[in-house]
Structure 1
């Protein structure tokens, strides 16, 4: 990946979702030490990417970019890998668990009923998620990358993904991550993801299913 994220500022809806969902999903799913994330972190080292980001208002994008840039320096109290471990792996309690069923299940467990509903929906569409380890399908990173894949392959299914499986809980997760990350990189990524999802919602106008949140 070079220092350019996209060829032009205004992109068709599906292309914007593909580009931003793939990048955001990878950052929130993969360890910063992984080979999968290396080209994206290299891209984020260049200031040019924020001017080419296709989702959201420039003032909001620049605020997120400033946090992300700060988080990529060596001046932070913990490394990026240490922050990822604390926020997404543990062993301590996670301040912003990245799985939808933690928010949607009344016992706040992973692999809850909402995970099974997502799994059944994917099975009906013939979608098989390839994962490196056994991970609930409703991990925020996986869902963002799934949105990108749908945008590229089956864009007619983006709206139900947003309405039923992502937007009912993602706002709560992102608010918690932005508030409690304690590392500017992940604070910035939380803000950038919220900016992107707000933009997707404007583009596709899904009727978001209202669900009670338990976390």
Structure 2
């Protein structure tokens, strides 16, 4: 149950793809698929998330993931891990090499860096499904968790029109925290520049 791949797939898709009604509708199921440390809180959050209409979330999605105006929470690891706060920094290249060693290449319609938060959650799910538990844990401890807390806190404090993405960020933070604790992961300490 701890390594159920539906959770990172669905959360990752929510942090990557534009809002979709079908995806939002399945969020309440996440409460039953994982040993949450606060199951009642997650159940309530998931239920509230499912009440949002995808069409009403387009502006928030654009602001958070496409850069309409000032992007309050850039979803790429290199922005946090590189002193210049740029895309495609050294951390992106290290992550790309890690994916290549796992026989993975990101192939999306969007020409964006692989270290996008949602893509990384989906890559984690793929590694689990490919029975690469050690690599999945390495992805978390070395490539995602060093900056995920900062990113999710910025999403939570973003001035969005609706509470959907801040609430989704809180649920995702609980998910990653639980994984870290249950798997006894030591997160690689990296300096954050944003």
Normalization by structure 2: what TM-score? 0.90
Q: 2:26 aligns with which of 1, 23, 43?
A: 43
Whole-angstrom CA distance in 2 between matches of 1:25 and 1:146: 9
C-alpha contact (below 8 Å) 1:66/1:188 kept by paired residues: no
Q: 2:39 aligns with which of 54, 58, 64?
A: 58
Determine if the alignment matches structure 1 residue 96 to structure 2 residue 79.
no
Aligned to 2:190: 211
The 1:181/1:195 distance shift into structure 2, 3 A limit, reads farther
Whole-angstrom CA distance in 1 between matches of 2:35 and 2:170: 12
Whole-angstrom CA distance in 2 between matches of 1:210 and 1:83: 31
Determine if the alignment matches structure 1 residue 28 to structure 2 residue 9.
no
Runs (4+) off by over 3 Å: none
Determine if the alignment matches structure 1 residue 180 to structure 2 residue 180.
no
The 1:175/1:146 distance shift into structure 2, 3 A limit, reads same
Whole-angstrom CA distance in 1 between matches of 2:31 and 2:137: 27
C-alpha contact (below 8 Å) 1:60/1:195 kept by paired residues: no
Count of residue correspondences:
191
* Cα distance per residue 1:154-197 (max 9 Å; x no partner): 22211111111000000000001011152211111101110110
Matches within 5 A, 1:1-215: 11=1, 13-14=2-3, 16=4, 18-32=5-19, 37-44=20-27, 49=29, 51-56=31-36, 57-65=38-46, 67-69=48-50, 72=52, 79-153=56-130, 154-182=132-160, 183-215=162-194
Whole-angstrom CA distance in 2 between matches of 1:96 and 1:54: 27
Whole-angstrom CA distance in 2 between matches of 1:136 and 1:210: 22
* Cα distance per residue 1:77-115 (max 9 Å; x no partner): x92111101111123121000000100000101101100
More relative contact order in 1 or in 2 (CA 8 Å, sep 6+)?
A: 1
Whole-angstrom CA distance in 2 between matches of 1:60 and 1:42: 18
The 1:172/1:179 distance shift into structure 2, 3 A limit, reads same
Normalization by structure 1: what TM-score? 0.82
* Cα distance per residue 1:132-156 (max 9 Å; x no partner): 1111110000000001111111222
Unmatched segments (≥5 aa) in structure 1:
1-10
Unmatched segments (≥5 aa) in structure 2:
none
Q: Secondary structure at the match of 1:29?
A: coil
